[in-house]
Amino acid sequence: MKEIGRAQVEDFLYHEAALLDAWRLDEWLELLTEEATYRVPSNDRPDSDPKSALFTIADDIRRIRARVTRLKDPHAHAESPRSRTRRLISNVRIVEQNPLLVEANFVIYRFRGNEDVRQYVGRYRFTLETRDGRFRIKSREAFLDAMELASLGTVSFIL
Amino acid sequence: MGWKLLVENSFDDYHLLTTHATWLDYLKSSGVEIKRPEKGHVLPSHGLGKDLGNGHGTTDNVNFRGRPVAAWIPIYGDAARPELERIRAELVQRLGESRAKRVADTNRNLVVFPNLVLLDGSSVSVRSFQPTAPDRMRVRAWALGPVEESPLARQVRLDSFLTFYGPGGFATPDDIEALESVQIGLGAYKEVQWSPLSRGIAKEGEQLNTDEAHLRAFWVQWDKLMRAA
């Protein structure tokens, strides 16, 4: 099997980031596999299992879809009006080829209403699957560096 | 009003339908039966608001939203069903039928005056908050569970917690949005001097969880202490 190169993975991550920043959430869902998970662990126990430790977010694919349904609903007050986000992704590394494990750093600038900017800084860990020459996300984890959310408030948008 | 808005929010049930409409939709679309409210009710089940004296208060509700302790809903998954039945049987054996029903089939949000809250809803969460400025506070919250719970029961409890509570839950972020919006609105206090809390004020006897007698009791106690200061 041909090795996956960093540039290919970067293209994919940039594409995902663009969809999320544009709130093209249905198209974003199509990047996920049927068993995909989305997790934001508590940062003092980043390698915990959500079965035994409290996470900030621990979605299976059904909960991810429900989250998107919610985010598109004008009654999701926390995101109505929506956050305006701009995510910068860098330091992309392929950690393992098989399964394809990718890490990257992120900074997400979030603006909403007339609020000051809120900065979400952290690290992504993705497990990707390649099928028909395209990547699909099996798992995506976002590890925030902030010790506590405090002034960040909520993670009501998708990190 | 700052932190006192979170007190109101923590044991007021009237806001559930509007603030948490998307959470209720999530329950429905996951197969949880949400009945139409009975006459005189706002919510799908009967619930009381209780003034416990000295500013303390609680809701006391017939549960309709599932309870990880022993009231299964489809969100918990089929695999969890026998475990919740086992826990319920143990409750009945240890506490008797009626006390077990109280544990498994009722839920409540309790305020210990002034700033400690026990949320016994989608899971048990303990919440405490300290003002850091007139319009800012620091909120800390914990998930509370039995030490002896089985791995499966713990999984259900933590998962259920995340459906509602926390900064990434399907409900708490909307509460925060409401608190922040109201706080901004209160900036107009010179023009609008009252925040009415009059639901149920003309009623004799029973006060519903969607009435505001228990909220008024908090404010009366706060007012009493502030005047004495």
B22, A149: Cβ pair inside 8 Å?
Answer: no
A77, B25: Cβ pair inside 8 Å?
Answer: no
Q: Is the ipTM of this complex over 0.90?
A: yes
Using the CB atoms, write b or e for A66-86: b if 16+ within 10 Å: bbbebbeeeebbbbeeebebe
For residue range A57-102, what is the model confidence (pLDDT) as tens digits? Answer: 999 999 999 999 999 999 999 999 999 999 999 999 999 999 999 9
Q: Give the up-direction half-sphere exposure of residue A144: CA atoms within 13 A in the CB hemisphere.
A: 24
- pLDDT(B1) > 80: no
For residue range B50-89, what is the model confidence (pLDDT) as tens digits? Answer: 999 999 999 999 999 999 999 999 999 999 999 999 999 9
Q: Between the CA atoms of A37, B168, A159 and A99, what dihedral angle is there, to the nearest 10 degrees?
A: -20
Could you tell me whether strands A32-40 and A57-59 are parallel, antiparallel, or unpaired per DSSP bridges?
antiparallel
* In chain B, where the domains are located: 3-63+107-147+159-228
Q: What percent of chain B has pLDDT over 70?
A: 100
- Best mutation site among A42, A45, A70, A158 for testing chain B: the one with the most B CBs within 10 Å? A70
* In chain A, where the domains are located: 6-152
Instruction: Flag whether residue A89 sits within 8 Å of chain B, measured between CB atoms.
Output: no
Arch. (CATH architecture) of A6-152: Roll (3.10)
Topology of domain B3-63+107-147+159-228, CATH: Naphthalene 1,2-dioxygenase Alpha Subunit; Chain A, domain 1 (3.90.380)
| Residue type for position B5 | L
For residue range A85-144, what is the model confidence (pLDDT) as tens digits? Answer: 999 999 999 999 999 999 999 999 999 988 899 999 999 999 999 988 899 999 999 999
- Considering only CB atoms, B162 lies closest to which of A57, A78, A79, namely A57
